[in-house]
Structure 1
Amino acid sequence: MRVRSAFAFAAITLAALPGSAFALQLNNTAGCLLDLVQNDGMEPMAGARGNEMVSRVVALVDSAQSTLEVAAHEIDHPAIIKALQKAAARGVAVRVYTDAKDVLQKVEQKSANGALGRSVAQRTNLERLMRGSDGTFGTSDDILIQAESPIEAAVRETGARIRAGLPVAPDGLPRASYKVASYTFVDQPIIAPGIVRRTITTGHLPTFRAPSTTRMHHKFIVADDKRGVTGSFNFTLSGAEGSQFDALTGAELGHRQQMIFFDNPQMASGYVRYFDALWGGSHGPASVDAGLREPSPGLLDFDVTNCGFPVRIMFLPNRNAATSLIGEIEKSSSSVQFEFFAFEEEKFIRAIYKQAVDRNIEVRGIIDERFYSAFADVVRSKIGAEADQFFLGTLNGKPRVEKSRLFRLLHSKTMIIDGAGGANPMVITGSANFSISAFEHNRENIVVLRSPAIALQFVGELRRFVNASRVNRAGYCSALQRPEDPEPPSELTSLTEDD
């Protein structure tokens, strides 16, 4: 089998490798401004300038004059929470659609590596948003929160409530009686009402499906139906600076992220249409019995036509989306390169391998070390020994797909086809890992940018990042670690593909 060299990344110079968050302009035409903002998570002394990715999100929120739609798998960054509260206080209608968290009782029963603390913190941060700047629910600065299943308030965790600046008891919050899977709640203080899937019979409690059956995995914000952001960043402190300690010391040691900021009313309105379908209506409080209008797969996908090149936005779950993207891989004539938190969908891996065998395309990639073994297992068990050698370099120690050496997560989700020349140049990015759960179960969005110039920019950034990340662990500034935490944070051992 004749294939291209495995060392394409090695040729690029290591000079001027930024290690913090920074922005690159992708497009600047009338009506279509696109910027790529990245977080490398490799700068122990970023100083007082602040994280560019967080600053841009805050600026987007601060720009809103009438509406903000926030679809966030998680949100806990203090600066972003404060910006959303300020927006609501000045009269902006703020809606937050978030992931329906596993019920606390279930987390308590199955808790490992701090999962309960994380679940409680998720709830206290959402309640802070819900109460607004004045800390009182039922006033004009409240932020509307919704999820597919109800999110119960943290009631017994008084210490966590006090630390979050909340009242000791969740007084004043709405209450509801309902069931989530096998868990029953009676007169429970709630943060999000959830959307009823079915009622068992008249007189019985409304019943919601278990959150673990699907994840609301989006990370997008739209302001005033005109501009917004989407990508891999969960709007969390760990995703940007790394930890509160890192942020206070001026470090940027968060996760590797890529975000697309857009100033384009056509693109923004398409995201808002989708958001309204999730919400069950537009610009108002979500009704428990509104019912999630499940569109046919692809119904709310849309094209952006005013950028000077084709842009396609796709929403998941949608098996047809996977088929479409595999078709793009099958059209590649030169290269497929990628960086992923998780990449374990056999159909994509097999399509890439087939192109390498049949058309001698260049293949290079990097995967977060926590999911590298899952990728390797698919290659070895489902594709075969030759693919094992091709992707992983098992026999010669020269892998085409590397394991990330970042201290924290490689959290981006990006594939570049024919990025350095070829018949089908494009960038595929967004919130979705290339996994079965992403395409068949989760709520995700994918941005497809068909531009040779943008594809080339992404290739350059991927090569720069791979070279820089190879020395990241060795170069990590151990002096910035707290004495009681000499090892990487323990929560990294409990991460799932939901992150």
Structure 2
Amino acid sequence: MKKLISILASVSMALTIFTPMGLPTEEAAAATTGDVVVNELAWMGTTVDYNDEWIELYNNTGNSISLDGWTLTAADGTPSITLTGSIQADEYFVLERTDDGTLSEVTANQLYSGALSNSGEVLELRDASGALVDEVDAWHAGDNTAKATMSRLDPATSGTDASNWTTATNTYAEGLGTPGTLNSGAGSQDNSCSDTTEHLNQVSNQPDAINIYFNKCALDQYASTGNEANYNVNLEERLLNRINEATTSIDFATYEINLPKVVDALLAKAAEGVEVRVIADAKDATDPHYIERFELMRLYVEEMVRGNDGVVGTADDITVFSDSPMLAVEDQTKRADHNLPSSPNDFPERTIMVGNTEMTGYVFVEGEQQTDGTYYSPDNQMHNKFALIDDKWVFTGSWNFTVTGLYGSDENMANGVLDGNQQHVVEVNSSELAGIYETEFNEMWGSNTLNPDVEQADFSSRKIDNTAHQVTIGGKTVEVFFSPGDDAVGRMAELVKTEADLSTYFTIFAWSDQALVDELKNKWEGSYVDQQGTLTGFDVKGVYDSSFWNQWWSASIEMTGRTATGSTNNPNTRWANAAPVYQDAESRKLHSKTMIIDADTSSDPTVIVGSTNWSTNGNDFNDENLLIIHDSDITNQFVQEFNARYTSAGGVVK
């Protein structure tokens, strides 16, 4: 159990009152002017009904505040609202008139009665002692025709300042406005990401170095002293640096690969005599989601298999192995584009059983065999993306080695524009950690030699837990887990339950694991029971990839109390108190899988990173890797990147 004295020593918590369990309680003292403000008003109603008025409050402080006994009243007596409940630090409190049907995308924190006059109102927000906390003296903005709200620009500036209000331009389901999120045009903080320059601030080649790279922007105003993150980084160049330094061996595990420079670098190293082993994920070649990209990948993989001289079976060939066999692409035009022979007939043409499907073609990559000589289907994913260089450098993270993953398009790649999916990379100079990863690699490879063993190889659920799970690297505790077999997501749930004292922030591509959701719910509102719990003061913030935001299985549904699109699931079996989590606003996918625990405190700041999505597939079927790094500086670097994602999605950070 972490000691309270160390938590109380944190400057950021100096004014927070603690319960015996070490969780911050709601602020009990009288509020001061501007602690909570009237932040947005739909005084004109919505496009559905002009009576559907709503009001949003914003907590301008770093503490949770009880609103019990507070009042929000109009000078003419209507509306006159007695507030109840709590408003979390840096968060919003939405009041809907009459019923909770006004806003389809937001759950009301409180209902009220009484209409707002379209000609204007004078509103006063007072705390339980009657002290004036905020005031709005007129409708300085808003549009009745467009049903666009009156939105506050700066919550730290007076509500009677006409220049501090604007007419909303962001669209929501019932009009123009931003209920429950950052206002249109708001920005008392400089949280923009207009700087696209690469920043390399924390890079070391020394033994025990741990370098963190983000391909998107980070907000380094949140850096601890001298700890600005590496951001807007060209991850391909970082990988090429490591490959080009190899002198003895490269073990390369990749879910996908179509970066020509990386392929060429691997080929060059194999030609120099470096032992290059590649494990590549096989896919269903008939799956419409994968046909084109898997075909492109196989062309690049065949380049590696043939080596620089293009001849099969010579010394410069790269050995490639997979969870399921790969058949060569036979399209002559596409082969010519990759300088491959017009026909792959120098590979054996075979008829093989892959899962329950009989396939005929030129087998150029072998796969794991079943005991009867047939092959496993490619249904489960070899989802790793890591490289081991000279048995000392580990290069891993969420980044697939693809054009889309980093650049977004071939044109962007040609121009050096990083408009791909949001990613992170961790590279570690540790022979001990590299040895653990090599054990995992060899388990899938089936041997510790240059040649794979198709019968001894084990992928997916056929693997066992055969690696150490904790190492010390430069004084930092680093935990390492592989899937399946190690219950990586189970360790995450345990970590949240037993070691998260103050906060958990996350960015996630796909999250469906219920145990992890439940542990975070209990931290957030002190109960595992559906629709029960009282806010504890534990801080939760998160961003989900938008493609999974409305999936019925996504943890986002529970955390926000919504009903998924097209789902009949009962929304009343969700968290009792919606959490401040958002769908991303990235130009492409939010691809990282990152959880940050107790950042910027003295309570063991920890970050969880890697390839593993927090799901049954990610934990029990796909081949994955996950690192848990206990270190304040590294965790703070992830906070800098998280804050950029969070504020762009609509969240507010102090």
TM-score tier (shorter): 0.7 to 0.9
Q: 1:41 to 1:461 in 2, by over 3 A?
A: closer
| 1:323 paired to 2:407 | no
Measured in 2, the distance between the counterparts of 1:195 and 1:89 equals: 27
| 1:5 paired to 2:98 | no
| Counterpart position of 2:255 | 73
Give the one of 357, 361, 374 matched to 1:183. 357
| Counterpart position of 2:343 | 169
Whether the 8 Å contact between 1:39 and 1:240 is mirrored in structure 2 is yes
RMSD (CA atoms): 2.8
Question: SS at 2:273's partner residue?
Answer: coil
| 1:387 paired to 2:561 | no
| 1:147 paired to 2:147 | no
Measured in 2, the distance between the counterparts of 1:453 and 1:282 equals: 36
Question: SS at 1:35's partner residue?
Answer: strand
Percent identical residues: 26
Cα offset for 1:23?
Answer: 4.2
| 1:94 paired to 2:237 | no
Gaps of 5+ in 2: 1-84, 93-181, 219-231, 527-535, 563-568
Measured in 1, the distance between the counterparts of 2:197 and 2:364 equals: 35
Measured in 1, the distance between the counterparts of 2:518 and 2:570 equals: 9
Q: When the two structures are superposed, what TM-score results if normalisation uses the length of structure 2?
A: 0.63
Whether the 8 Å contact between 2:355 and 2:377 is mirrored in structure 1 is yes
Greater CA drift, 136-145 or 12-21? 12-21
| Counterpart position of 2:421 | 255
| Counterpart position of 1:133 | 308
Cα offset for 1:193?
Answer: 0.9
Gaps of 5+ in 1: 43-49, 200-205, 392-399, 472-499
Cα offset for 1:127?
Answer: 0.7
Measured in 2, the distance between the counterparts of 1:100 and 1:336 equals: 35
In the TM superposition, what are the counterparts of 1:132-281 in structure 2 within 5 Å? 132-155=307-330, 157-186=331-360, 188-199=361-372, 206-212=373-379, 214-281=380-447
Q: Who wins on radius of gyration, i.e. which is larger?
A: 2
Q: 1:469 to 1:39 in 2, by over 3 A?
A: farther
1:158-178 superposed Cα distances (whole Å, 9 cap, x missing partner): 222222222221132244442
| Counterpart position of 1:40 | 216
Measured in 2, the distance between the counterparts of 1:71 and 1:34 equals: 20
| 1:352 paired to 2:520 | yes
| Counterpart position of 2:476 | 309
| Counterpart position of 2:593 | 413
Whether the 8 Å contact between 2:216 and 2:233 is mirrored in structure 1 is no
Measured in 2, the distance between the counterparts of 1:299 and 1:458 equals: 30
Measured in 1, the distance between the counterparts of 2:346 and 2:197 equals: 42
Measured in 2, the distance between the counterparts of 1:62 and 1:82 equals: 11
| 1:57 paired to 2:239 | yes
Question: SS at 2:411's partner residue?
Answer: helix
Whether the 8 Å contact between 2:386 and 2:396 is mirrored in structure 1 is yes
| Counterpart position of 2:156 | none
1:218-252 superposed Cα distances (whole Å, 9 cap, x missing partner): 00000110112000111111111111111223321
1:125-155 superposed Cα distances (whole Å, 9 cap, x missing partner): 1111111222222111111110121111112
Measured in 2, the distance between the counterparts of 1:419 and 1:54 equals: 29
In the TM superposition, what are the counterparts of 1:446-457 in structure 2 within 5 Å? 446-457=626-637
Cα offset for 1:31?
Answer: 2.7
Count of matched residue positions in the alignment of Structure 1 and Structure 2: 439
Amino acid at match of 2:276: V
Measured in 2, the distance between the counterparts of 1:464 and 1:444 equals: 26
Q: 1:20 to 1:29 in 2, by over 3 A?
A: closer
Measured in 1, the distance between the counterparts of 2:601 and 2:211 equals: 22
Measured in 2, the distance between the counterparts of 1:21 and 1:101 equals: 34
Q: When the two structures are superposed, what TM-score results if normalisation uses the length of structure 1?
A: 0.81
Amino acid at match of 1:312: E
Whether the 8 Å contact between 1:367 and 1:401 is mirrored in structure 2 is yes
Measured in 1, the distance between the counterparts of 2:514 and 2:543 equals: 16
Measured in 2, the distance between the counterparts of 1:388 and 1:71 equals: 42
Q: 1:390 to 1:21 in 2, by over 3 A?
A: farther
